[in-house]
Structure 1
């Protein structure tokens, strides 16, 4: 049985006086003003199952509060489980009854069941709370973008080839451990593959590097051949227990996916190393595990692997919107969509907009002016006149300085909330991670504003 909320607080919940406990108390009060979100959280936890059967488990309110605690303090699931058992303030915030000590596996399954749409809905409710409390009106906004890495190593052709050889060999080894043993043959080439990767990394001579690549590609072709023979055998695996049959079919699916990726890696290696072609970024494979990752290049900075994220911030330091597109779009291409999304949230366009120089273009300025934005300022003019963007030089300078504040907001998200690198897997996991961090950040900002009021 899965409930939404505990109807009554425990008499043993204590009032703490530390700064963190005060922030948590304010965050708790804000969540109590947005009870509608628990419907979506409850629905995610049930996932089509009945609510009136089975064990109680953590209710929707507890799961949401545990998720916010994790992101608010940048904790691992193991650390979260420890603090929920050890800290009276954390337990009071999460509203856990005496004797309830959730394990890290329970916390992980529960928190990751919350969809990105649920986090986005909670974000909208928090903005509604801020508007009702006259903390944020959305009339003055600032826009910027940043790259957030996915949890992968820097991709090279040699490391990707070795990843494919390593994981496919491991899965075929697992298949041979089934009873009865599937009838397919393979050999373990991981040791020789690792030697060739080290030779590629350490040699200075091009001829030696190319020769090592030829050996490594040859090993990769052999492993692909083994996988082509193993996939149909595992897919038709019979005369086994239900669990072994499911394991065999799952291994066949994983091998089939990895085979497609490894064949693409072999192709891009042959084109780049042997034919000396320049492979377009859109055709490159950069990870076996987080295949949704994009190659992000921003001006003269180092290349990053992950996704580009666009933020809209307000004068209150709240993050008002978050846009996560696929690929590596130019900043100027997202400006109009960000303003449209803002209008959907606040039912009107902002009065003043200040954006980074990458968003500057004549078409974007014209769009903003046509939609009743009085001052649309860009950090770099790029051929635009100051008086075309703002009504005076003084307003232009004030808004240009105002835009710099979102750099601090993004820095806080990356340093304080761990948004510099996403360690949740998959495209949906990436979106959930970003939105959960934005929600936790906004709750902390609101709590500190409420505490400052006294």
Structure 2
């Protein structure tokens, strides 16, 4: 049984509309909760959000039978809070069980302190969101935000840029990747053998230490800066010893898997997982041998930068002090009201390949978008022509030397004004990175897309909270001013 929100209030429970915030607080949580409170209190917005959550999250679950789970409202609050605070599940677990205002927002009364959220419950429920659901939810929230600010302008002006969201990986080397692959393969095989009462890998901990010792020896030889022939020979010998030992373990694991296949026929998934790590190990052995011993240069497209997050890319954007980033690029399109209209996870794509798609998808969601600015990385002749068909004003600087006609276009007042305003998108990117998108803590490409989409939703809700917070502060300031004026008059 899963409901959107409990309609029957309990003794001591505070209605969401009556939750008060300290306007002098400079912490993040009250502003996030203020935005969520608006979602709950705005009748039209609340109906759309709840209808979407109810139809998309576990739609086949009977709402009237079964044990009660987390309400969909609680799931949304927890997901938004986790991303906007850039918190892991440990901190979220502590907050939802101990933070009084947050528990009031979740619908808990003062007398149900014994109702606690389990760590795994939070993980499982927040993971119910899908990127597609969050994209639709974001559209509803942005529309509500546009109504809130009572904009006079009928059209939206966008600014588009990309940045790298890092994956949760260590800085790679080929011997590190080989060590990771074999460590997992050996550990999983040894545990499987223990469950089947086989003694093939009873000394697997010693085997892992031996492998690590050889890896450290190869690393130490590589660090030496001496370029003489003897030093190079020692480095090659250290690498050779490491990959020979690795090959022995690979063969032994394959022999063990053949034996286990006859005794444990039902453990197919476990076998597939081990074989996947073995494939990683074989690839790394081949690349180490080609690079170190044969002196070849490994083509970039053959390289894998993480065996745990295989979607990780090596991104060099030429930033000062950040020569390389390990992650995946994400493109966002923000409007002049600082709401993020659309985002796109760029899987092995460049800026110029997704410029048109960003605009068309944003216009599909918000048809009143009629202008957008980009930087030079999005330029291509085809993009210039196609974007002009979708937008009234395209601010896309051209690369290289400009012709007289192009120079005249880029010196027009509207073009210059839009290009100067374009840098504001960096503020949105910085806000996203501060509030969750500096590093993705979820695993897999599916988890990465969900994490990014939830961060966009959380950022837009936070934007609503900031607007309302400023209005509340101004309202309180005027009330104090009136009160002082009446006191002076008396």
TM-score by length of 1: 0.89
Superposed displacement of residue 355, structure 1: 0.8
1:336-355 alignment, distance < 5 Å: 336-348=356-368, 350-355=369-374
Structure 2 partner of 1:242: none
| Aligned-residue offset at 1:404 | 0.6
Indicate whether 1:71 and 2:83 are aligned.
Answer: yes
Task: Measure, in 2, the Cα distance between the counterparts of 1:150 and 1:411.
Answer: 17
- C-alpha spacing 1:373/1:310, structure 2 compared with 1 (3 Å): same
SS state of the match for residue 268, structure 1? Answer: helix
Moved more, 215-224 or 97-106: 97-106
Point out the more displaced range, 218-227 or 92-101. 92-101
Contact 1:147 1:309 in 2 (8 A): yes
Residue 132 of structure 1 corresponds to: 147
Stretches of structure 2 that go unaligned for 5 or more consecutive residues are 225-230, 473-490
**Residues in 1 aligned to 2:404 and 2:185: alpha-carbon distance in whole angstroms:** 59
Deviation of 1:46 after TM superposition, in Å, equals 3.0
Render the CA deviation track for 1:365-415: whole Å, top value 9, x for unaligned: 22222334324233x653346974857533233212211111111111112
* Unaligned stretches of 5+ residues in structure 1: 239-244
Deviations 1:256-281 (A, max 9, x none): 11112211222222222222222222
Pairing 1:215–2:215 present? no
> Which is worse superposed, 301-310 or 130-139?
130-139
User: What is the 5 A alignment of 1:314-393?
Assistant: 314-327=335-348, 329-348=349-368, 350-378=369-397, 381-384=399-402, 388=406, 390=409, 392-393=411-412
The one-character-per-residue Cα deviations of 1:318-343 (angstroms, maximum 9, x if unpaired) are 1111111211x221121111111122
Structure 2 SS opposite 1:54: coil
Q: 1:190 to 1:26 in 2, by over 3 A?
A: closer
Q: Match for 1:115 among 130, 154, 157? A: 130
Structure 2 match to 1:440: 458
Contact 2:52 / 2:137 at 8 angstroms: preserved in 1? no
For 1:291-337, what per-residue CA distance to the aligned partner results, in whole angstroms no more than 9, with x for missing partners? 1222222246522222111111111111111111211x221121111
* Residue among 237, 243, 246 paired with 2:263: 237
1:96-111 correspondence runs (5 A): 96-97=108-109, 98=112, 99-111=114-126
- Indicate if the aligned counterparts of 2:32 and 2:81 stay in contact, CA closer than 8 A: no
Larger Rg: 2
How far did 1:231 drift?
2.4
Q: Which whole-Å CA distance do the structure 1 matches of 2:253 and 2:52 have between them?
A: 42
Distance verdict in 2 for CA 1:357–1:222, change over 3 Å: same
Determine whether 1:145 maps to 2:171: no
Indicate how the Cα distance of structure 1 residues 342 and 383 shifts in structure 2: closer, same or farther if over 3 A, else same: farther
Question: Using the alignment, how far apart are the partners of 1:387 and 1:374 within structure 2?
Answer: 17
Task: Using the TM superposition, give the Cα deviation of residue 228 of structure 1 relative to its aligned residue in structure 2, in angstroms.
Answer: 1.4
1:175 equivalent in alignment to 2:175: no
From 196, 206, 214, the counterpart of 2:214: 196
Over residues 122-150 of structure 1, what are the superposed CA-to-partner deviations in whole Å (9 max), with x where a residue is unaligned? 11111221333445866211111111111
Between the aligned partners of 1:375 and 1:385, the Cα distance in structure 2 is: 18
Q: How far apart, CA to CA, are the structure 2 residues paired with 1:23 and 1:285?
A: 38
- The answer to whether 1:403 aligns with 2:422 is yes
Q: Report if aligned partners of 1:281, 1:295 keep a CA contact under 8 Å in 2.
A: no
Kept after mapping to 1: 8 A contact 2:188/2:274: yes
Identify which range, 44-53 or 418-427, moves more after superposition.
Answer: 44-53
Output the CA distance in 2 between the equivalents of 1:47 and 1:167: 37
Asked if 2 retains the 8 angstrom alpha-carbon contact of 1:377 and 1:399, the reply is: no
What residue is the counterpart of 1:289 in the other structure? 308
Bigger relative CO (Cα 8 Å, ≥ 6 apart): 2
Determine if contact 2:4/2:50 at 8 Å carries over to the other structure. yes
SS at match of 1:276: coil
Structure 1 residue corresponding to 2:272, chosen from 247, 253, 268: 253
TM-score, length of structure 2 as denominator length? 0.83
Alignment CA distance shift 1:163-1:370 (3 Å): same
The corresponding residue for 1:313 is 334
Q: Corresponding residue for 1:226?
A: 252
CA RMSD of aligned residues (A): 2.6
Q: Secondary structure at the match of 1:279?
A: coil
Deviates further, 168-177 or 202-211: 202-211
Residue of structure 2 in register with 1:58 after alignment:
70
